Amino acid sequence: MGQSSSTEHNVSPELREVQSLAASTGSLPSLQKAFSLLSDPQTNSIPLHSLQKCFDFNFDNFESDQQLLHKDCSVFFTHLGSAIIDLFFVTDKDGVNWLEFLRGYTKCCGRMVASSLFNNLFQVFSTTCSKAGLSVDLQFEKFDDDCKINGTLSAQDIVTLLSVCWIFSWDSKTLKSNTGKTEGKCILPDISHLVLSAIESCAEDGLELNFWDSVVSEMEIRLPASKIHLWALKNIPNLADCFVQFVYARLCHLTTDEDKSEPSCSSAQESSTSAISEATLLTCGWAWAISLTLRGSVCEEISRICFPNDIDEINQNLLYRSSVHGKGLNRFWSNVEGYNGPLLVLIAAACEDGDNTRRWVIGALTHQGFENKDSFYGTSGSLYALSPVFRALTTSGREKNFIYSHLHPTGLYDAHPKPVGIAFGGNIGNERIFIDEDFAKVTVRHHAVDKTYQHGALFPNQGYLQVEASVLEVEVWGLGGTGSIEIQNSHRKREQLFTDQRRKIDLKTFTNWEDSPEKMMMDMMSNPGAVRREER
């Protein structure tokens, strides 16, 4: 068995190497505990049915607007466990021994390049669909340490693949936060922006598509799997990590839970996903897409919005919303001033395109708080096209014009005033994105003016000319954790204290009643027509 049978004296070189690979992921202690709980003491192996049961799902509480997707996901997860075992674990008559258990884990969750992780994800998807009787056109040419993906995927196939990955993420977050036993519902968010992004990137040249009014489930189009692979690597590079986190959570969190009841597809709050979508501009689907481009603490913070445990906790991260706090730079500044952590700014806008009004949503991620400056500043950031098509534009590394936020100077004359507003990318006068001080208009320019962020359109058919659109909504989310909130609160208290002190009048500074302002006001009110001469 994991730790007890592997002493320093009789560990084979093969086992030592595999244990070293597992240790490099930081999961070896958890795997040892999981193996001891799952394995049969007599055979020192995990029975096949026990390992397969780790990946079982109960979809009684699963909800989706698409009946076909609901059916496909239910059938898919019924066969997921056997597909994972067939692909990654070598079994014998007793099941899976300690060596093969570690080897199987490192095959799917070990340290490897992103393309290999995506190959694993596509193989799991293809094998599980085959076992479930779902038609998927994928073939794999395997080499020594790599494989080539051939075939095509339909729009509905991409919806199913992305939905499965979302469920992977949801399940791992739920088990990690010890809420896997809470009764509720798992509600899939709208991920059409990701599907349309894949279609826009991978469709054949010359194919005209209307992304504004498209219904993904009705689109009859097939895309090369190799292009989808490249699209995912560029736009959502952490998508394959969803499967890695799922396997780790199922083996290390679920098996170590004292309650061995069958896991169900439930969430901490039955209506959390729908409640957030209705109450804010940022949806769970958009937040999840953004999280797939990030790592570290910022990724963890935005994941809390995708998979919330408490609505109040999520609302605490919402620093500003124009429809609630009021439009304009002053109202914006009063809510974000003093917050020194990463921020996510969302802008919903509408522009005229002939006889049609086109609505779109874009975003900007900053890794620091806003400052009142008349020049660009910042150390890093990203731009996002969120609706109707998702696209991530990270830093290009050529310039550092990440953020511009400038308020009117008070009491100062400037012969050459700088623009008042908020901007991202480009340069002063030619900003990539610029919001005016009243939050009435947003100007979006072609990427040719910008050397800070990568090239790419921020909405479909953007063109080369600058576009002016009416601002519908602006939101700012704080992604710095509770520490940044506490610092901002202390900053606000300090500013309020200074304001209160400036408003107070110290009566001790007046020598007597005759010199007090109260005496002067009373005299004026009692006889306002009296002529008063200043005594000299």
The string of pLDDT tens digits covering residues 227-253 is 999 999 999 999 999 999 999 999 887
Rounded CA separation 20/57 (Å): 31
510 in a structural domain: no
Alpha carbon 334 to its chain's center: 26
Do 259 and 332 fall within a single domain?
Answer: no
Please give the average per-residue pLDDT across 287-291, as a whole number: 95
Do 327 and 183 fall within a single domain?
Answer: no
Do 186 and 82 fall within a single domain?
Answer: yes
Q: What is the residue range of 256's domain? A: 13-270
Which range, of 28-37, 115-124, 463-472, 501-510, averages the lowest pLDDT? Answer: 501-510
Do 260 and 408 fall within a single domain?
Answer: no
225 in a structural domain: yes
Most confident of 6-10, 443-447, 487-491: 443-447
At residue 317, the pLDDT reads 87
- DSSP-derived 3-state class of residue 534: coil
Do 359 and 479 fall within a single domain?
Answer: yes
- Residue 263: pLDDT band (50, 70, 90) is very low
Rounded CA separation 344/381 (Å): 10
Do 366 and 470 fall within a single domain?
Answer: yes
Question: Of 234, 252, 270, which marks where a domain is finished?
Answer: 270
17 in a structural domain: yes
The b/e string for 289-325 (b: 16+ C-beta within 10 A; e otherwise) is: bbbbbbeeebbebbbbbbbbbeeeebeebbbbbbeeb
**pLDDT of 78 strictly over 80:** yes
**Residue whose entry in the numeric block shows the structure tokens 């620091």:** 368
Backbone angles phi, psi at 459, to 5 degrees: -160, 160
pLDDT 10s digits, 323-379: 999 999 999 999 999 899 999 999 999 998 777 889 999 999 999 999 999 899 998
At residue 388, the pLDDT reads 94
At residue 536, the pLDDT reads 46
CA distances in angstroms from 210 to 92, 203, 215, 219, 458, listed in the order given = 54, 13, 10, 11, 16
508 in a structural domain: no
Please give the average per-residue pLDDT across 132-153, as a whole number: 86
At residue 271, the pLDDT reads 44
288 in a structural domain: no
Rounded CA separation 284/266 (Å): 16
At residue 62, the pLDDT reads 65
Cβ pair 54, 255 in contact under 8 A: yes
Rounded CA separation 19/12 (Å): 11
500 in a structural domain: no
H-type helices in 65-136, by residue range? Answer: 67-78, 80-88, 98-109, 114-132
At residue 68, the pLDDT reads 60
Do 257 and 326 fall within a single domain?
Answer: no
Do 202 and 339 fall within a single domain?
Answer: no
Q: Where are the beta strands (DSSP E) in 428-462?
A: 430-436, 441-444
295 in a structural domain: no
Do 112 and 224 fall within a single domain?
Answer: yes
Higher-pLDDT residue of 486, 89: 89
Do 245 and 332 fall within a single domain?
Answer: no
Number of domains in the chain: 2
501 in a structural domain: no
Do 35 and 179 fall within a single domain?
Answer: yes
Cβ pair 399, 455 in contact under 8 A: no
Higher-pLDDT residue of 62, 101: 101
- DSSP-derived 3-state class of residue 79: coil
Average model confidence (pLDDT) for the chain?
Answer: 84
Higher-pLDDT residue of 505, 10: 10
**pLDDT of 128 strictly over 70:** yes
Do 120 and 207 fall within a single domain?
Answer: yes
Question: Of 484, 501, 529, which marks where a domain is finished?
Answer: 484
